[in-house]
Chain A
Amino acid sequence: MAHIHLEDVWLNYPIYNSHAQSLRSRIVSAATGGIARRARARILEIQALRGISLDLKDGDRLGLVGPNGSGKSTLLKVLAGLYPPSEGVFRRAGRTETLFELSLLDMDATGYENIRLLIALRGFGPEKSKSLIADIAEFSELDNFLDLPVRTYSAGMLARLGFSVATAIEPEILLVDEVLGAGDQYFLKKAGRRIEEISERSRILVLASHSLDMVRQFCNRCAVMRRGRILDEGPVQSVLSRYTA
């Protein structure tokens, strides 16, 4: 049984500029006893999430909407366990898959090699991976392209491959950030069916998107985010009608 629980989660995100990240600035500041340290560029800290509380259970398909920089992607990364919250409670149960960006592990490697890497990173042995590779190749419908280096792929093809891998072994929690939109109409329909299948078996989907149509299509709940907070959360229809009002 999949479950995500966030309680008053705050996330401070430090921004390191090239100055703060260089060894010289550290040595200089140590040698000058703090005089240079004052002049040193401060490490900027951004409050990316401010008091987020969420409770997602089996069958919840949550759409995250909001302007750029409102914290959608950061929230997804917290849900994925990539960013530890600075404060607050974060609990998650269930195998999680993410679809965050349109790049694979090794852009010079072929589609097949990337699939093998991605499967290995999920901890599957050679036998299981053979059948998985076949599944993924079939679902992505990339055919002979899988023998080419992935740097030759278009954004839509990367989205296809990413989605196919992420859903090949059915995840209990699927986190998707925008990228799915790069796929063409045909593949979006296909992805939609698979997401529906997944959610029919009562799993959790969280989708961040600027496309309200996609949110309407895939989600049953919706959260409006702005400046790191959730302003409005509830059934997708009522939230979106307030959002677009």
Chain B
Amino acid sequence: MKHDSRDLTQSPEALGALVRSSAWRFDSATMRYRGEMCHVEDVYADALAMLRTGTDDGRRQAAEMFRAILADAPEFAEGHFQLARLHAQTGEMKDAGRFAANAAIMAPENLNYLVLHVAMLASFGETEAAARAIRNFPGLARLDVDRQAPEERLVTAFVDDYLTLVLPGHALLNGRLVPLSAVIDETVAELRDAGANPGSPAAARLRQVLAHHPAWAEARFWLAEIARRGGDIDTAIALCQDGERLRKMDWPLWLTFGLAEAERGNIRQALGFFEEAALINDHLPAHAPNDLTESGARALIGWYRNVLDALPVAPGAYSRPWHYPEFPEIELRPRERAHSRFQPEEAFKDMAGGIAMTSAWWTLARNDVLARYRRTFLGPWWTVAGTGIGLVGMALVWSVIFNMSAAEFFPYLASGYAVWLFIASTMTEGCAAFTDGTAQAIQRNMDLPRFIHVMRLVVKNTILLLHTLTIFVVGAVIFGVAVTPATLLVVPALLLLIANAGWTVCLFGIAGARYRDLAPALGALLTVTFFVTPVIWKPDMLRDRAWLADWNPFTHLVAIVRDPLLGAYPPALAWQVSVGVCAAGWIAAVLIYARTRRRIVYWL
């Protein structure tokens, strides 16, 4: 490019025409910078990077670069615009005005350039020229501007609406282009002199600032705060609500919001807002609203009122460190148990509803039984096969040790062991009744009676019990176990056993959900229990220590099913203990279920 032969003193109009005619192109233009030939776009990119540092030094260096660009490439309108912005920010309005005019004339279709130009003209009092610039803007139809408005109003509205595009944090007030923070400081000083009167011109000016700069938290705070101090709670709350809806809250505004709500008696909302403030400002005491007693809440509100009331209406008071009075002793609520209300009717309704949902628990239980043996040939009969082989092996060994015939020992072992397996698995699996994957998925997604999870496990284990009992049946046929009238008692006995499983699963399910250690602990205990319960051995083998078996409730639960299967009447004590345990267990289960049913969902 023959750069030296160009006339660098052309008018902005001529420069603009040059750019539009494509005789000058930004992406190919070169310039001299610090003695070297550079692309304009590279220097421009560096200058923008300097601007982004946000420091005074960065701005100085950027200005230097823009000036260097314009010295060699005055066609670059953006350079004029950026220099204009930089000058406006440092208050060199004359230079700013000149560069802004250059940019606007060179690129008349650019809204940013127009806004800055108009703002500068307005700040020089040239309202007429400013209005003309707006009306001549080619893209005016696309803007939300009332072009029929009188000149002054047209210009003010236009600058108010669009200035934030080019000079964020600035405003045109009383014909001056100034940083908003300066305006607010000045206005707050006036407000102080006016006795913090919401009707004063200073307050009106703050409202004007806020209308155009809704993000200006400080203006919003002072307006809301003087409204609150003046007892105009509705206005204070409306201002805060707007701020919240626009997500432009700062902690002082949360405090004003909280006190205003407290004034209305909405104590809990107030405490929530104080908590919001405390999340932003570490100096404030963080109290979860739930932790405070009524008097504690009063004390906290009082303290915050002192903090806000002590804040003088004065410029800079908002952003200076605040003064916090001595923090009072706040009374905290003793740990209250959430949702621990005792609701027996609800619990009964839930239990009845759960039992009534037959298709639900039946399908779940069936799926459980099938799931373990998915894609196997034998399916649930694998349990039978496994247990059967084990029982044959045990019978072979133990019948010799106990010096009993296989015909006597095998049916005894097979029947007792099936019952024992049922009891043990309702206890161990019961621990996960509510926390097992499927149960959790249901409880997290569907509003169903929680008791179906109990039913599901009881039914599943009953199905498996009926399977394992077939081993006994086979043994009974082989060894010719006598069928007597007493055999009929197996029906009530099984029902009683299943009823016992109901409360077991329910109680262990609740405890297992709350205390996750229960399941492993139980696993360890059950092994011991198996050996002290007469399943392999007979109670009369204990001789003078028969009480050991008598005091063990499992002995009786096993006996009521096993004895009828073997054709004998179970002892009366076995019935009594089984019924007694069942009754006591159900009472405990209902009582505890009534207390915890609502809470279980939080334990998952």
Contact = CB atoms under 8 A, between A and B. Distances in A.
Given A21-B603, A51-B268, A106-B371, A82 B444 contact: yes
A23 B364 contact: no
Interface string B347-365: 0000000000101101110
Contacts of B359: 120, 123-126
A77 B448 CA distance: 13
B438 to A, nearest CB: 5
B332 to A, nearest CB: 11
A105 B438 contact: yes
B545 interface: no
Interface string B559-590: 00000000000000000000000000000000
A13 B360 CA distance: 29
A48 B239 CA distance: 25
A117 B365 CA distance: 10
Interface stretch (B134-142, B474-482, B513-521): B513-521
B571 to A, nearest CB: 36
Contacts of A98: 445-446
Nearest to A22: B517
A13 B599 CA distance: 10
Contact of B269 (A12, A50, A232): A50
B339 interface: yes
A245 B248 CA distance: 11
A109 interface: yes
A120 B515 contact: no
A21 B510 CA distance: 12
A121 interface: yes
B514 A47 contact: no
Contacts of B371: 106, 108-109
Contacts of A83: 601
A88 B51 CA distance: 54
Contacts of A103: 441
Contacts of A106: 367, 371, 437-438
Contact of A80 (B447, B514, B602): B447
A120 B514 contact: no
B293 to A, nearest CB: 15
B521 A96 contact: no
A229 B364 CA distance: 38
A13 B363 contact: no
A121 B448 contact: yes
Given A18-B516, A82-B444, A100-B444, A116 B603 contact: no
A101 interface: yes
Q: Range of interface residues on chain B? A: 35 or more
Contacts of B599: 14
B288 A16 contact: no
Contacts of B517: 22-24
A12 B445 CA distance: 19
A86 interface: yes
Interface in A133-167: none
A113 interface: yes
B276 interface: yes
Given A47-B288, A50-B269, A12 B338 contact: yes
A45 B338 contact: yes
B246 A104 contact: no
A227 interface: yes
Contact of A82 (B241, B335, B357, B443): B443
B6 interface: no
B602 A14 contact: yes
Interface residues of A, number: 52
A224 interface: yes
Nearest to B515: A23
Interface in B419-464: 437-438, 441-448, 452
B298 interface: no
Nearest to B599: A14
A81 interface: yes
Given A109-B367, A125-B359, A245 B338 contact: no
B380 interface: no
A42 interface: yes
A18 B359 CA distance: 35
Nearest to A107: B437
Contact of B357 (A22, A43, A100, A123): A123
A51 B515 contact: no
A189 interface: no
B244 interface: yes
A26 interface: yes
Interface in B366-415: 367, 371, 374
Contacts of B598: 84
Contacts of A28: none
B388 to A, nearest CB: 27
B600 to A, nearest CB: 11
B360 A120 contact: yes
Contacts of B441: 101, 103-105
A123 B360 contact: yes
B543 interface: no
Interface in A42-56: 42-43, 45, 47, 50-51
B108 interface: no
B245 interface: yes
A242 B431 CA distance: 50
A232 B339 CA distance: 29
B382 to A, nearest CB: 17
B272 A50 contact: yes
Contacts of A218: none
A82 B288 contact: no
Interface of A: 10, 12-14, 16, 18, 21-24, 26, 42-43, 45, 47, 50-51, 80-84, 86, 96, 98, 100-101, 103-109, 113, 116-117, 120-121, 123-126, 224, 226-229, 231-232, 242, 245
Given A23-B517, A121-B363, 18 more contacts: A14-B338, A18-B516, A21-B515, A43-B335, A45-B288, A51-B266, A82-B443, A98-B445, A106-B438, A107-B437, A116-B363, A116-B367, A121-B357, A121-B452, A123-B357, A123-B360, A227-B272, A242-B246
Interface of B: 241, 244-247, 266, 268-269, 272, 276, 288-290, 335, 338-339, 357, 359-360, 362-364, 367, 371, 374, 437-438, 441-448, 452, 514-518, 521, 598-599, 601-603
13 contacts: A12-B290, A16-B603, A82-B444, A83-B601, A96-B447, A106-B438, A108-B374, A109-B371, A120-B360, A121-B446, A227-B276, A231-B245, A245-B246
